[in-house]
C-alpha cells in the first residue's frame, strides 16, 4: 500500500466517522446510530429518555404524595368524627350525672323534711304522755305513772344492790371492807364478797358489824 492510498482511506474513515458523530449529535429523539462498538443513542434520544424517566419518577412520587395526603385527610376526618362522638358522649354523661345529682338532692331534702316531721310527731307524743324531758342525775331511777295519772315521773329505786367485798390486810390482822354501788369490782380481788340491798357492813373496834337500813337510807 502506498502512502496516498493510506491517506485516502484515513480521510474516508474520518469522513464516515464524522457523519456518524453528526448523526449522534444532531439526530432525532427516536434515532439510534449503529457504530462498530454497538448501537449508540443520539444526544436528543438520551435527553428524551432521561426526561421520560424523570417524569415517570416524578409522577410516581406525586401519586405517592397524593395517596399519602388522602390517607392523612381520611385519618384526620375519622379522628375528628371520633372526637365529636366522644364530646357528645361526655356531654350526655355530664347531663345524666347532673340529673341524677338533682334527683338525689331533691330526694335527700324530702327525706330530711319527712324525718323532721316524724321527729316532731314523736316529741309531741312524748310530751303528750308526760314523759320527762330531762334525764340529768336520773341514773338508776325508775319511771312511774304519777298519782293523778297525768303523766310519768322519775323516782328513786331501792332495787339497786350494793357490793360488799372483804379482804384481810397484808399481815392478816385486819379485815378490810370495800363497798359501792356504781363502780366495777373484780370479785377475784376479795377473800369474800356479797351483793345485798338494805344491808350495811362496817368495821367497828376491828370487828365486822352488819346493820339493816330503811328504804329511805338504802335509796340514799
DSSP one-letter string for 114-128:
HHHHHHHHHHHHHHH
Nearest to 155 by CA among 136, 142, 146: 142
Q: Is the pLDDT at 201 greater than 60, yes or no?
A: yes
**Residue 60: its pLDDT value, please?**
74
- CB–CB of 201/168 below 8 Å? no
Residue 85 is placed in which grid cell? 362522638
More confident site: 184 or 138: 184
Query: DSSP class of residue 189?
Result: G
* pLDDT per position as a tens digit, 43-75: 777 787 787 888 777 777 777 877 888 887 888
Give CA–CA dist 98/101, Å, rounded. 5
Element (H, E) at 210: strand 207-212
Q: How confident is the model at residue 188 (pLDDT cuts 50, 70, 90)?
A: very high
pTM for the full predicted model: 0.29
pLDDT at 75: 81
The C-alpha atoms of residue 139 and residue 43 are separated, in whole angstroms, by: 126
Provide the mean pLDDT of the chain: 77
**Average pLDDT, stretch 11-34?**
74
Amino acid at each position: 500500500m502506498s502512502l496516498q492510498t493510506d491517506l485516502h482511506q484515513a480521510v474516508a474513515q474520518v469522513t464516515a466517522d464524522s457523519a456518524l458523530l453528526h448523526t449522534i449529535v444532531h439526530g432525532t429523539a427516536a434515532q439510534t446510530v449503529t457504530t462498530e462498538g454497538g448501537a449508540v443513542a443520539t444526544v436528543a434520544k438520551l435527553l428524551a429518555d432521561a426526561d421520560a424517566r424523570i417524569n415517570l419518577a416524578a409522577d410516581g412520587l406525586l401519586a405517592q404524595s397524593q395517596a399519602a395526603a388522602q390517607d392523612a385527610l381520611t385519618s384526620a376526618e375519622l379522628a375528628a368524627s371520633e372526637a365529636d362522638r366522644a364530646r357528645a358522649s361526655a356531654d350526655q354523661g355530664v347531663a345524666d350525672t347532673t340529673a341524677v345529682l338533682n334527683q338525689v338532692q331533691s330526694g335527700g331534702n324530702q327525706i330530711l323534711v319527712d324525718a323532721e316531721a316524724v321527729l316532731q310527731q314523736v316529741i309531741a307524743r312524748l310530751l303528750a304522755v308526760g314523759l320527762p324531758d330531762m334525764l340529768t342525775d336520773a341514773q338508776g331511777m325508775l319511771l312511774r305513772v304519777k298519782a293523778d295519772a297525768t303523766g310519768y315521773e322519775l323516782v328513786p329505786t331501792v332495787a339497786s344492790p350494793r357490793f360488799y367485798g372483804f379482804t384481810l390486810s397484808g399481815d392478816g390482822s385486819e379485815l378490810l371492807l370495800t363497798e359501792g354501788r356504781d363502780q366495777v369490782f373484780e370479785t377475784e380481788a376479795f377473800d369474800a364478797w356479797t351483793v345485798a340491798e338494805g344491808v350495811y357492813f362496817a368495821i367497828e373496834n376491828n370487828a365486822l358489824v352488819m346493820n339493816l337500813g330503811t328504804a329511805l337510807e338504802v335509796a340514799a
